[in-house]
Amino acid sequence: MDLNLLRRDTPGCSNVIHLNNAGASLIPKPVQHAMQDYLVQETDFGGYETADKYAPAIMAFYDQAATLLNTRSSNIAYATSATDAYNLALSAVPFKNGDVVLLTENDYPSNFITLLSLQKRYGIRLELVKNTPSGEIDLEDLENKIKQHRPVLVSVTHVPTSSGLVQPVAAIGDITTRLDTLFLLDACQSLGQLPVDALAIKADFISGTLRKFLRGPRGAGLLYVSDKVLHAGLEPLMPDMRGADWTSTFTYQARKDAKRFELWEKNYMSVIGSATALKYANDIGIQAIANRNEILCGFLRKELASVPGVQLMDRGAQPCSIVTFAMQGRQETGAKQYFRDRGINLHTTTRQSAMIDFEEKGVDWVLRVSPHYYNVEEELERFVEVLQEW
């Protein structure tokens, strides 16, 4: 990994120490240029005509996403965000009154809200799977609850937004496959920083975003749909003429591939940018990225452990590139701005995003620092210096 080249590819590195990659990463120049070039073509020649001209580059989105997830392009759909992708998957499940959905105590807050809304509307029932003492989902409890409740769906967030916990998703997939239960994985925070192998995980759906560790544009996401789901004929609640053909006055036929989950209208400039970002990550190699992130975050956690008043909050056997900690005697108000004023981007997470987790940890908010492979140790040292001056 040529860090000098990667940083030259990232103009933002000259302006800021960016440690908010779990929010939105700095976009590299190839992504910027691809989107700018596409917009110029749309401006000069028209939207439909430009989409036709760029058809091979647009299709590269599906090929590059498939490479990242170790699947086929026919299993990939474009979405406008991870939440959009997650909700599209949910809409394909034919919920009825009394159906059970299992989820973890560390699922993403938007997922909780959506499922609570479905509970209100359709009368489904939500059941939480216990955690192990180290914070991950308790696999024994998961298996027992599947056998007890026969849920229609298991929903798991691979890496929560509020901590560096990594769930054992391949083991979860083994259980849901063996017990023939639909498995929806929210990989919003893991795509681009950790390997996410659809075949190894055996999830039926995987949702993700481009703006975080994949370093793509905002307003872009993806959805992986398994062959099992496609062959079962599951489809989104409200397809349009992108996802289905109108076959007679009162009939339609859904597409055979995952594009049945797409809508006809989309921002093709973002598709082009997303394809470029995916290729950028694939060219570096997701395992090389994960290895570099492990070094950076190990270094950062060691530095933070020596700072008076810092309480590291991340749990789990396999911490990732999200580092969260509480700071004794400090309030959340003004924290982000303090660091921004000193040229450092980071994020704060409040209890509203982690009701169960933060209740257990006994905190109301944490600082969330999320380095990525293009960051360097000197930037982390500078962050710790600024933190000590706070």
Mean pLDDT for the stretch of residues 286-296: 98
pLDDT at 37 over 90: yes
Q: Mean pLDDT of all residues in the chain?
A: 97
pLDDT of residue 65: 98
pLDDT of residue 1: 85
**What mean pLDDT do residues 204-232 have?**
98
- pLDDT tens digits along 357-380: 899 899 999 999 999 999 999 999
- Torsional sign, CA 112, 85, 192, 340: negative
Rounded to whole angstroms, the Cα distance separating 117 from 56 reads 40
Using CB atoms within 10 Å of the CB of residue 30, give its burial: 0 to 12 exposed, 13 to 18 middle, 19+ buried.
middle
Calpha distance 161→365 (Å, rounded): 12
**What does the pLDDT average to over 237-244?**
97
Backbone torsions φ then ψ of 365, nearest 5 degrees? -160, 160
pLDDT at position 146 over 90: yes
Per-residue pLDDT for 154 more than 90? yes
Q: Quick check: 131 pLDDT over 90? A: yes
Return the pLDDT at 253. Answer: 97
The first and second tokens of residue 256, run together, are 């055979």
CA distance 189 to 209: 8
Q: What is the mean pLDDT of residues 228-247?
A: 97
Question: What is the reported pLDDT for 238?
Answer: 96
For residue 318, the model assigns a pLDDT of 87
Q: Residue 164 pLDDT more than 90?
A: yes
pLDDT at 9: 98
Considering only CA atoms, which of 20, 25, 9 is closest in space to residue 211?
25
86 close to 222: Cβ distance less than 8 angstroms: no
Q: Across residues 39-59, what is the average pLDDT?
A: 98
More confident site: 355 or 237: 237
pLDDT at 385: 97
Question: pLDDT digit string (tens) for 294-327?
Answer: 999 999 999 999 999 999 999 998 899 999 999 9
Model confidence pTM above 0.85: yes
Residue 221, pLDDT score: 98
> 70 — alpha (psi -120 to 50), left (phi > 0) or beta?
left
- pLDDT in the model for residue 141: 98
* Alpha helix stretches (DSSP H) within 70-138: 82-91, 109-122
